[in-house]
Amino acid sequence: MHEHGGARQGDPVSDIPVEGRVLPIANSCTRPFWEATARNELLVQWCDECASAQFYPAPLCRLCGGEPGWFTASGLGTVYTFTIVRQNRTPPFDALGPYIVAMIEMNEGPRMMTNLIDCSLDDVRIGMRVEVVFADPVDAIVLPFWRPLTEPTI
């Protein structure tokens, strides 16, 4: 059903509680990323000099020291590892039931921390295919989340 999975195509999800979370303060490195998520677009840095992608953003390429540019990621990836957090005393997480924190390995290579949503605690697996979705803005910040990808049944 979400076979495209592209960052632009991901349906905004409105039922993710974002209120009360620690939100980012954009800096010179990260501002393009957060400006892009506000457009429901997932940007990852790309270094032309050594042909590598990197996330999170840095002022230079961590591999070769070159000056990275940006490209729009596919918004597709796999679960590299995960945990089910059952105890977090910091609001708003203290009021949630168990939730999934996962490391997503994007198709382009770099990894990103997220909450896996629309996924039951019993179903989460390493290697699971996932796609990005974007929450509604809170204080002008749009957080990306990831959810299981339903493969097309053609």
The end-to-end CA distance of the chain, in Å, is 11
Q: Does 60 bind another protein (CB under 8 A)?
A: no
Minimum separation from the CB atom of position 92 to another protein (A):
8
CA separation (Å) from 149 to 6, 144, 153?
11, 15, 12
Tokens of 48: 């032309």
Q: Which of 66, 103, 118, 129 binds another protein (CB under 8 A)?
A: 103
Q: Does 129 bind another protein (CB under 8 A)?
A: no
Q: Which of 38, 50, 51, 113 binds another protein (CB under 8 A)?
A: 113
Q: Does 30 bind another protein (CB under 8 A)?
A: yes
Nearest to 14 by CA among 145, 142, 116, 135: 135
Q: Would you give the DSSP letter of residue 116?
A: B
Where on the chain is the footprint of another protein (CB under 8 A)?
Answer: 18, 21-27, 30, 55-56, 80-90, 93, 96, 99, 101-103, 111-115, 126, 143
